[in-house]
Structure 1
Amino acid sequence: MDDFVRKKLTDWNFCNWIERFEEEGIDRESLECLGDKEIDDLFPKLGPRAKFKKRLKLLKGEQSTTYQETEDFSSHDQPSTSDTSDKGKRKSDLQDECSKWQTSARKRQCTLVPGSYAEDIKLSGMRDIMKCVYKRLDFQDNTKLQAFLKNKISDLETEEREMVGVFGRSGAGKSSLINAVIGEKDLLPNGNISACTTVMIKVEATPNLKYEAEIEFITKEEWKDEMWPLYNIVRDNEDQEEEDGKNDHEINEKRSALYGEECKNISFENLLDNKCFREIPEFLRGKPKFLKSETAKELSAQIVKYTRRDPEDGQYEGVKQWYWPLVKCVTVKVPRNPFLQHVTLVDLPGNGDFDKSRDEMWKGLVRRCSTVWIVTEINRAATEKESWEILESASSFMGNGGECQQIHFICTKSDHFEESDNHSSAAAINALILKRNMQAKKQVRNNFNKNTKIKKHFNEECFKVFTVSSTEFWKEKHLEPHDTEIPELREFLQNLNDCHSETLNYVSRAHGILSLIQGARSTDVAENKRALNSYIQQKISCELEKVKESMEETYSAFEKCLTEGVEKSKTLCEAKLKKFLYPNKSKRYGFYGTLKSTVEKLGTHKQKTGKQINLNMKLSSFLTDSINEEFRKTFPNGGKHGPFNGVISIFSLDTEKLIQQYNDVELQLTFLNTEEEKIKAKLNKIIRERKKDMYNSLMETIEKTMQEGYKKAAKFKGEKMLQNMRDTLQKHLFVSKNVMFEDAKKLMLQRLNGLKEEILNTLDNTLKEAVDLSLKTDDYSIPDFSKELELVKQYYKELKGSQDE
């Protein structure tokens, strides 16, 4: 058995079969020669056998096309959709050029598996074909139909990525987990280097052959704003001095890390001196910095100073400057990684950040996560407060205010067990570990079920618990299958990729466009076109009425919920504010500094422990609580039905049935079918974004109205400063409450009504235009693209068959 086979089995989540393959002497050559009978002998169970056959099929498909072939395939002089330099080309020249692309595409036939790099090669071929179609259309007179077709071709690119957010305190094993799951042991720095809580790290795949990193910095103005308190603090009493001292330490740590010993006493005026930024001139220019390396280990060494605090580690003694204080986000790109093809893993620190721009990016990324991983050590999983506080504070951004469908609570270091003695056998220790892991899972689930804050946004079906060991995963042999569940997490990522086929979407829509082109060349179906046009126009009106009715019912339901929420807010908001302003004895120490920071940052404050205070969220909680259940039902993040009780999903022109009745107009109906699916996908994306805006508008309205009170409170100084801040906030809330909550309700309903109009107009206008151009327009001058249609149709069937399999 060679390293190639061992690595493939690891990548495919078949670690437990490595020993079996080793016994059978299966090397790279024999792996590629395995037939169904041999695979049946190796995998007696149907489930693993089917998955292995799928992965082996993918491997053979990839190897039938080399990387050099891909380079050759894309190195043709490809036309740009915006390029007009070939306008004068003879028609025959364009046809010859397209003929070459068709021949190249046919030569590179290979098995298609969704999520594979063989699929990427096919996608590249499809793009070449459609660019050729565009150029030949551009050569013709610009009729209304041709302009419509060219616009559709230009709009074919629809790449999206699933985002998986990874949370956890420093030292919980996030970096080791990510490295193990994607199969890159040396990618993200870990070990005894303490993580910088302000740096977000995105991990993605790249089609290139080198490891890459993109470092995005904060602005020069933001850096000066962060340093300003260190140079301009005027203290009025000892309590303030002690509390500000804690903030000084955080700011001073950033200054020392960046400027080092030589510049530790740098003046405020010289903070942006060029000599301090010789290695990162990009920061001063407001540009990102790009790094490239041949190996993951080399890139890891390069990004340490941008992602980690100054570590107490001998190997970094020569580093004089650490740039993490200036970094907003680092994007690490891994060459052709199968687990990241359509997925981005995001290492997200804590619950936001002191800096406004980083905090806004944090919120934006959390709202985009379709899955969240909460990482904690198994011995602390049930009791550690920080993990649950992160989940609680972020739940509204992830759930109704985001698009998260699943929460995975991941207990790391599952192979550690300290209670056994040295005389225990391996089997006994393994049994104790298994028992401990099962108990941890049960305790974590119980904690989730008891947490009312989280369960406002997520039900039990969304929550799963995993026990993992990165150390155990990298071993060649495992004692038991339960030693680590990293293979299960890998399978989850693979499924995300498989269900997110960019190629299938592209080919499906290209198939529709080419069908419309060929249909427009028909000359003998005018009567059927007229009959169909009348029927479909009526069908559109009927289906739109169903959509309108469902959305109006939703509007009424939200209006009722919000009315109740407004009344409750007016009655109880002052008590909610008073409870914050006058904490119990255990929380009074240092409260002066907490309140000061909260008003200075317009209602938010991140404590030294990492826990975030959000006064605006507290004041808007009665409004959000009033709609949470209805909102989750109307705008589910997962499930089969979709938003507005599934009314968008079931919207249909019945084109598949019509094809059976009007088979001579099949090409036009095929286009309408793909156009309908495209519009519904577009609307679901619009709804997903608009629903975030609607939900978050409640808190944003409160924040906007309270700003004046925060700013007034922030101006007080002197001995009565604390009481003056309290009085100012209470008075401002008393004066504003009758209007503020009504305004929040009004804004959300306005946005809901705006969404209704946008959905109805998009369906009506887009479909009617597509129907008119399909069934009322003929253009015999359009070139013949029957060969392109045949090839795309073949690709589409192959992709569809692979996905169904």
Structure 2
Amino acid sequence: MDEFVRSKLTKWKLKDWIEAFKAEEIDEESLYHLDDQEINQLITKAGPRVKFKDKLKLLKEERNTTQTQKEAVNTFGQDLASISEKGKRKSDLLQGESSQWQPPPKRKYSCAAGSQSETEILSDVKDIMRRVSEGLHGRDKLSAFLKDKIKDLETDKRHLVGVFGKTGAGKSSLINAIINKDGLLPSGSGRACTSVIIKVEATNESKYEAHIEFITKEDWENEMQSLKQVAEDDVDDDDVDDGGNNVLLDPDGKLSALYGEAWKEKSTLSLMDSRYFRDIPEFLKSKRKIFKSDSAEELSKKFVKYTRSESNETEEVKRWYWPLVKCVTVKVPDNDFLDHVTLVDLPGNGDSNRSRDRMWTEFVAKCSTVWIVTEMTRAASEKQAWDILEGASSLLGNGGECQQIHFICTKSDHENPDDINRIKNDVMKEFSQQKLIKNHFSEDSVQVFTVSSKEFLKGENVNPDVNEILKLKEILKKLNDAHSETLNYVSGAHGILSLIQGARKREVIEQKNDVYADLLEKLSIQLNKVEKAIEEKTKAFGQCLCEGVEKSLNLCKKKLKFFLHPIGAKDRTFHRTLKSVVRNDGIQKPKTGKPKNLNMILAFSLTESIDKEFRDTFPNDVKCGHFNGAIDAFSLGTDSLIEKYKDVELQLKFLKTEEKNIKAKLNKIILTQKKLMYNSLTETIKDNMKECYKEAAAFKGPGTLKNMRDAIERHVESKMDMFEEAKNAMLEQLDDLKKTILMTLEETMKKSIEHSLKTEACLLPDVSKHLEVVKRHCDELIGSQDEKM
């Protein structure tokens, strides 16, 4: 069974019969040749069978139409080659003949307002554009340009919702309740701990799936060496920081999970022997391991050992493979709001394993919404919840794309509405006191919800004012709403079809020349406006960073002394903390509690100096507009030109959609680059500190703590110019971004204007019928959007 058959059955809402078609190895070719008897055997119920036959009939008609078009084009090409240059101009020939090979579409489209769902509209328009693309057989530049534009219409925007919370807060139960699949993610044990990243998303398949992605063999070997080194160091059971948090890695937990007690007597090399990985050959082959099951509970039993560090409910598990796992993706069938949304269950502090930590960082930076899950009884005062949010705030805010933070207070079973309101108010009051978090988020971006997953999954009468899981589901449905994707695709298709139909007109040369010159002049003016807006912001950033450099120079020694000589910390305890910091490029991530990042501490005055300006310039809510809306304000004024140049109206409509598309593309580029730009301040400091980290990590024996402290202090003293270097690196990236924006705008729009108004005569299909259908769909979607607003 191939993807073509699976996608058609899914589109036709016949997913229940996918397995039957798969068992009989029905592919695209055999699908077209199924007879009634074979269909009766494949689909045993009358209702779905009638629907299938009707859809298959339409599909065959579409294929016949496409084949007829291809044959006509081939015949036309042969005729064109044999025609003498005498008698008729080439442009007349192309115009007359090209309209003959495009037969009217046999498929009927219902265009009445509200007659089709957005999913059906999108499917119809995609079918139209597929056939149009297949009909563009010319080898001219315009045909190639149009085919590329049709390909560019396809997008798969996915929203990431990051779920954070301490062990036992109820993250897994919440996710199970949200997707209404009790038992999918293991939960319920106070000792159980989700140790790896778990993604939950929808699938078109009929079974539940778990895709296990492993770290590399090299990564595991390197991590084992680090873990064994930590374990071999002198361990003090009293190794906790002043906040009572465990400050150590957990070598015994990780190595014992996989090897039992055998690791203590064996070398790293012997522990890499293949016999330890017989049950997971995929790890040795750098492949994914995939489980499939008919039920959520059955799947959970299969993958639990790849995600949990401990669980009372699965005591029969003797070996745990989570130390080798990079990420687990759980795919859920029949889910109506995870098609474009992924729930990501995230460990709070990242990971000591570098590849897992890189993935954690990437996921956090891509989250558009974050859920902080905490128990109802201590919602406002739960230190670990606030520590998690504070530790990740720079990655989520100015260094990420998070727009909404939701505090979700679990276990609201016996609460009354008055208590609920008090708890919500307490959380918001606590947020107002979180200075570091507020550097990245305003109170408008924070909401508080109360839930009881247990009550919801029981199916009992749920008080929506106390148990707000339905409200969370509604939020996810809005995120998943394909309206913007559908409208973007349909309006883009409308523009492309407008250009095709408009380009078939071979007269109005004078008007084309006039509007061509007019557009180039407007383009130059608009580019200057964008450039000026970016340069104004660059100047503002320069001033902020100069202040940040000066403040860094003044406070650097004080901050470093506070870090290297923490008040109340025992030297023995801090020795191990600092050893962990220097071994990991300035970062220590304990099992619980706040991570310690010396690079961020040194860069703090720089990042703080630009936080407000950065948030205003690069808002995560793209509706606010980057560079004070300069990108969104870019316009060639095509609407006014349409009034003036009626004969090239269709080409101008295409340019209007191109303008919209390029601005959307630029917003994505800016969102990606602004993360790198913001984080570059800390990264520059980290690069400058690596040499001293390496030096400090090499010290052993008596006096190690003093030697490490002295080495770091000497190095920072000699590297005071690193703050100026960080400033210059960020301003350079900002200048590069300006060049990228201007170049992308100029090249894309010039190319589109050129192909719209300066193309040579070429063979193009008559798409007037398609254009009419797509225009009606486009108007319907725009009207629907206006009603919602």
TM-score above 0.5: yes
Maintained 8 Å contact 1:205/1:341 = yes
Q: Does residue 130 in structure 1 map to residue 112 in structure 2?
A: no
1:199 aligns with 2:196: yes
How many angstroms does 1:119 deviate by? 3.9
SS in 1 for 2:465: helix
Shift of 1:66: 6.2
| Cα displacement (A) at 1:297 | 2.2
After TM superposition, the structure 1 = structure 2 runs for residues 529-608 of structure 1, keeping only pairs within 5 Å, are: 529-586=512-569, 588=571, 590-608=573-591
Bigger mean CA offset, 727-736 vs 271-280: 271-280
Match of 2:24 in 1: none
- Pick from 476, 481, 503 the counterpart of residue 520 of structure 1: 503
Letter in 2 for 1:331: T
Deviations 1:76-133 (A, max 9, x none): 9989x9xxxx99984699x99x9899545749999677xxxx5445434433332332
Query: What is the one-letter code of the residue matched to 1:580?
Result: F
Cα 1:415–1:275 change in 2 (3 A) is same
Superposed, which structure 2 residues align to 1:263-412 within 5 Å? Answer: 267-313=267-313, 316-412=314-410
Residue 492 of structure 1 is matched in structure 2 by 475
- Matched residue SS, 1:216: strand
Residue 623 (structure 2) pairs with residue 640 (structure 1)? yes
Secondary structure of 1:362's aligned partner: helix
State the 1:587 CA deviation: 5.8
Q: Deviations 1:509-546 (Å, cap 9, x if unpaired)?
A: 12211111111101332222222112211111111111
Q: CA separation in 1, counterparts of 2:107 and 2:183?
A: 38
- Residue number in structure 2 paired with 1:208: 205
SS state at 1:543 partner: helix
Match of 2:225 among 219, 225, 228: 228
Offset from partner CA, 1:698-724 (integer Å, 9 cap, x none): 000000000001000111111111000
Q: Is the 8 A contact 1:193 1:309 kept in 2?
A: no
Partners of 2:375 and 2:662 in 1: how far apart? 45
2:411 counterpart (410, 413, 419): 413
CA distance in 2, matches of 1:293, 1:677: 44
1:761 to 713, 735, 743: 743
How many Å apart are 1:474 and its aligned residue? 3.1
Confirm or deny: 8 A CA contact 2:506 2:761 kept in the other structure: no
The CA distance in 1 between the partners of 2:162 and 2:263, in whole Å, is 37
- Calculate the aligned-residue CA RMSD, in Å: 3.3
Contact kept in structure 2, 1:377 and 1:411, CA below 8 Å: yes
- Which amino acid in 2 is paired with 1:512? G
Specify whether residues 76 and 217 from structure 1 end up closer, same or farther in structure 2 by C-alpha distance, changes over 3 A only.
farther
Q: Is the 8 A contact 2:248 2:576 kept in 1?
A: no
Counterpart amino acid of 1:154? K
What corresponds to 2:152 in structure 1? Answer: 155
Report the more deviating stretch, 520-529 or 609-618. Answer: 520-529
Structure 1 pair 703/197, CA: closer, same or farther in 2 (3 Å)? farther
Name the CA distance, whole Å, in 1 between partners of 2:61 and 2:324.
Answer: 42
State the partner residue of 2:216. Answer: 219
* Contact persistence 1:215–1:327 (CA under 8 A): yes
Q: Which amino acid aligns with 1:338?
A: D
Question: Given that residues 250 and 591 in structure 2 are in contact (C-alpha distance below 8 angstroms), is that contact kept between their aligned partners in structure 1?
Answer: no
Of residues 504, 510, 516, the one that matches 2:493 is 510
- Alpha-carbon shift at residue 449 of structure 1 (Å): 0.3
Alpha-carbon offset, residue 238 of structure 1: 7.0
Alignment of 1:47-196 (within 5 A): 90=74, 103=106, 106=109, 119-137=118-136, 139-140=137-138, 142-192=139-189, 194-196=191-193
* TM-superposed deviation, 1:243: 8.8
Matches within 5 A, 1:438-449: 438-449=421-432
Contact 1:350 1:610 survives alignment (8 Å): no
Which residue is equivalent to 1:422? none
Q: Does 1:709 align with 2:706?
A: no
Work out which of the residue numbers 451, 465, 474 in structure 1 matches 2:434.
451
- Could you tell me which of 780, 787, 790 is aligned with 2:772? 790
Higher mean C-alpha deviation, range 609-618 or range 177-186: 177-186
Between the aligned partners of 2:73 and 2:659, the Cα distance in structure 1 is 36
- Whether the 8 Å CA contact 1:649–1:680 is kept in 2: the answer is yes
Residues 449 and 468, structure 2, Cα contact 8 Å, conserved in 1: yes
The amino acid of 2:152's aligned partner reads: D
Check conservation: 1:160, 1:342, Cα contact below 8 A: yes
TM-score between the two structures when normalised by the length of structure 2: 0.84
User: For structure 1, which segment, 387-396 or 151-160, has the greater mean C-alpha deviation from structure 2 after superposition?
Assistant: 151-160
Question: What is the CA-CA distance between 1:135 and the residue it aligns to?
Answer: 2.5
SS in 2 for 1:482: coil
Percent of aligned positions with the same letter in both sequences? 53
Give CA deviations for 1:48-95 in whole Å, capped at 9, x if unaligned: xxxxxxxxxxxxxx999968977998899989x9xxxx99984699x9
Tell whether the 8 Å contact from 2:407 to 2:447 is kept in structure 1 after alignment. yes
Structure 1 residue 657: Cα displacement: 3.0
Q: Tell me if structure 2 keeps the 8 A contact 1:198–1:328.
A: no
Normalised TM-score (structure 1):
0.82
Contact persistence 2:247–2:590 (CA under 8 A): no
Q: CA deviation at 1:493?
A: 1.1
Match runs of 1:661-680 below 5 Å: 661-680=644-663
- How do 1:684-763 residues align onto structure 2 when only pairs under 5 Å count? 684-737=667-720, 739-763=721-745
- Say if 2:208 and 2:294, in contact at 8 Å, map to a contact too: yes
The count of corresponding residues between Structure 1 and Structure 2 is: 712
Please give the secondary structure, in 2, of the residue aligned with 1:491. helix
1:718 counterpart SS class: coil
Cα drift, residue 622 of structure 1: 0.5
Sort the Cα spacing of 1:124 and 1:336 in 2 relative to 1 into closer, same or farther, 3 A.
farther
Rate the CA distance shift 1:395–1:262 in 2: closer, same or farther, 3 A.
Answer: closer
Q: Alignment partner of 1:338: what SS?
A: coil
In structure 1, distance between residues paired with 2:221 and 2:379? 39
Gaps of 5+ in 2: 1-46, 78-97
Residues of 1 paired with 2:476 and 2:424: CA distance? Answer: 21
Residues 661, 498 of structure 1: alpha-carbon distance in 2 compared, 3 angstrom cutoff: farther
